[in-house]
Amino acid sequence: MKRRQGNITKRGKNSWQIKFAVPSVDGKRQQRYATVRGTLKDAQRKLTELLNAADTGMLPDPCDMTLAEYLRAWLKSAHEQSPKTLERYGELAERQIIPHLGITKLQKLKPEAIRQWHNNLLEDGLSSRTVGHAHRLLRLVLGYGVKSGMLVRNVATIQAPPKVEATEIQILEQDQIKTVLAALDGHMLFPIVSLALATGMRRGELLALQWGVIDLDRATLRVERSVEETRAGLRIKEPKSKRGRRTISLSSDAVAALRAHKVKQLELRLALGMGNITPDTFVFSTVEGGLRSPDNLSRDWARTVKAKKLPDVSFHALRHTHVSMLISQKVDILAISRRIGHSRASTTLDNYGHLMQGSDEAAAKAIEGMLK
């Protein structure tokens, strides 16, 4: 097969114009142009890359679309993402990506521009964790551009995001757990706080819980759904992974707390003329029996913590506390991972590995004398 040739023309002191032809859809030849800054060798190298890309069908069609235009179009068509995820992606796009990179032509985006973007965000006071979230969104979107043939490469995979320093997760110590539960005795938050500590369930999973998935006689409950809150309102969603749908064994204390809560809930429903509890009744609902807002739950918790002078931790810290209790009791990491609904045990290790103090010393003692 005869190789296509191209021409290189000097346009300035360190600027070169590359001209070459590629076949179009109708079989005719189409002239393509590119500008290279550098030496003649740089231009020759670039011409070779373009010709190779054309020969292998990897040369993208010319596109004047900016990154902002492409990113917004992608957000409108990303139907496989959940509404909450799309809402977060939209915030990252409009606040962190588009103001800095939006006017750049999609096919002109360079790794150096990505590096400078990271620096600008960090200088503006953004945390490295948030910069990493924005970078991962850009990498995801550019990856679709590569798959569609619009881009030859994903420059966000060449330039890595800034390193995120590990931060200590918030947990309640053993004596603090007793203090919190004692302070909340008789409070409306006691049932959901005690179950969060007893199961490690996420906030949304607790609020989606219905009596039909709880077997108090067998001391188990089934996690099947979660409440998600977006600007459009509340909705029930399925777990992200198969491991998210799980059965959790309950302690006798947790069963007793749930029985007591069920009695009080029934009394309230009857007083309001709402009738008996059914399998579809939400365990932790509004007074009217509807879905409770996860954000409102967090606000209620924060207000109560302040009013009762409790340890200043987030509601999510109750999940972390549950895991720390399991680790302190030497529960197997795979069992912990399955109980809290992580898709991989490695995720559990990444998040909670620092709590496993003394495991290496225990390992050394286990093989004491073996080499003698």
In sequence order, the 6+-apart residues with CB closer than 8 A to the CB of 101 are: 67, 68, 109, 113, 117, 138
Angle of CA points 318, 319, 322, to nearest 5°:
85
8 Å CB contact between 155 and 141: no
Distances (CA, A) of 202 to 129, 136, 193, 209: 21, 24, 11, 11
What CATH number belongs to 174-355?
Answer: 1.10.443.10
The pLDDT tens digits of the residues spanning 203-253 come to 999 999 999 999 999 999 999 999 998 888 999 998 877 889 999 999 999
DSSP state, residue 95: I
Q: What predicted TM-score, i.e. pTM, was given to this entire model?
A: 0.70
Which has the higher per-residue pLDDT, 85 or 282? 282
* Band of pLDDT at residue 2, cut at 50, 70 and 90: very low
Total residue count of the chain as it appears in this document = 372
What H or E segment, with its residue span, contains residue 35? Answer: strand 29-37
Give the mean pLDDT of the chain.
Answer: 87
Quick one: which H or E segment has residue 123?
A: helix 111-123
Helix (H) or strand (E) segment spanning residue 20: strand 15-23
Give the percent of the chain with pLDDT over 70. Answer: 88
pLDDT value at residue 3:
46
The model's pLDDT over 71-91, given as tens digits with 9 standing for 90+, comes to: 999 998 887 788 888 999 999
- The pLDDT, as a whole number, for residue 349 is 84
Whether 67-158 and 174-355 share one fold: the answer is: no
Alpha-carbon Rg for the chain, nearest whole angstrom, is 29
State the pLDDT confidence band at 370, using cuts at 50, 70 and 90.
Answer: low
**366 pLDDT tier (thresholds 50, 70, 90):** low
> Which residues, at least 6 apart from 356, have a Cβ–Cβ distance to it below 8 Å?
327
pLDDT at residue 278 in the model? 96
**Structure confidence at residue 287 (pLDDT):** 92
Angle between helices 190-199 and 174-183 (to 10 degrees): 160
| Contact predicate 69/103, CB 8 Å | no
The architecture that CATH gives domain 67-158 is Orthogonal Bundle (1.10)
Tokens representing residue 296 in the block: 């409102």
pLDDT confidence tier of residue 341, bands split at 50, 70 and 90: very high
- Highest averaged pLDDT of the listed ranges 227-236, 290-299, 345-354: 290-299
> Is the pLDDT higher at 341 or at 59?
341
Q: Provide the angle, in degrees to the nearest 10, between the axes of the packed helices 317-328 and 190-199.
A: 40
pLDDT single digits (tens) 178-202: 999 999 999 999 999 999 999 999 9
All structural domains of the chain with their residue ranges: 6-55, 67-158, 174-355
Q: What angle do CA 361, 364, 368 make, to 5 degrees?
A: 135
